Amino acid sequence: MTAADEVNRHRERACTERAVLDAVLDAGVVGTLSTVVDGRPWVVPMLYARLGDRVLMHGSTGAGALRQVAAGAPAALCVVHLDAVVVAQTTFESSANYRSAVVHGRLRPLDGADKSGALDALSDAIVPGRTAEVRAMTGKELAATLALELPITEGAWTVKVRTGPPSPIQDDATQAERTAWTGVVPLRTVAGEPEPTDWCPPDTPIPASVHRLLDRHP
């Protein structure tokens, strides 16, 4: 069985520095949580936020599979950022520039002040400072929400990064390969113009939290 921190394919792209893992996690807010439920694979996209040595997530207390993960089933969270499409002289040589991370472990449910604090931290990670602009969650809302943490532990995560252009053309390349356009097409996520709801008063200014969100994705 492969160790949770072992990379077998393209080992030259593996990064072992914890700071790189943190940077990959902090650059996103959506990951894919995977586990096995009743002998079958279970995969679901999750909003998340890293807070120190743990990854915070949340969901409905009515989600049966999520409750099973909260009870201690082994799980893995995968986060990936596609930074560019790498266009090479052949489709075989073409690739992508990316940053990816996988964190393995067992999720733990949170309660009390740790739960409410984690949910606030998760909200602020998505829309920075939003919790200070709106009312706090009610007891009923907290009761309906499952807050989870995935500890980041040594030996239980991997990071892979690819950067740069396509591989150089080989000496035996054909004429078609030598004359084909090759290069890198950068990709990035940008924020669009905020769109207020129909029931939002027309004179309501865009809050500071949304401006921070726009600044994060210029």
Domain positions in the chain are 11-167+184-216
The CATH-assigned architecture of domain 11-167+184-216 is: Roll (2.30)
CA distance 161 to 95: 12
Dihedral Cα 32, 188, 99, 60, nearest 10 deg: -20
pTM of the model: 0.90
User: Which is it for the CA torsion 218, 216, 47, 79, positive or negative?
Assistant: positive
pLDDT digit string (tens) for the chain, length 218 residues:
456 666 666 677 778 899 999 999 999 999 999 999 888 899 999 999 999 999 999 988 877 778 888 888 899 999 999 999 999 999 999 999 999 999 999 999 999 999 999 999 999 999 999 999 999 999 999 999 999 999 999 999 999 999 999 999 988 999 999 999 999 999 999 999 999 999 999 999 999 999 999 999 99
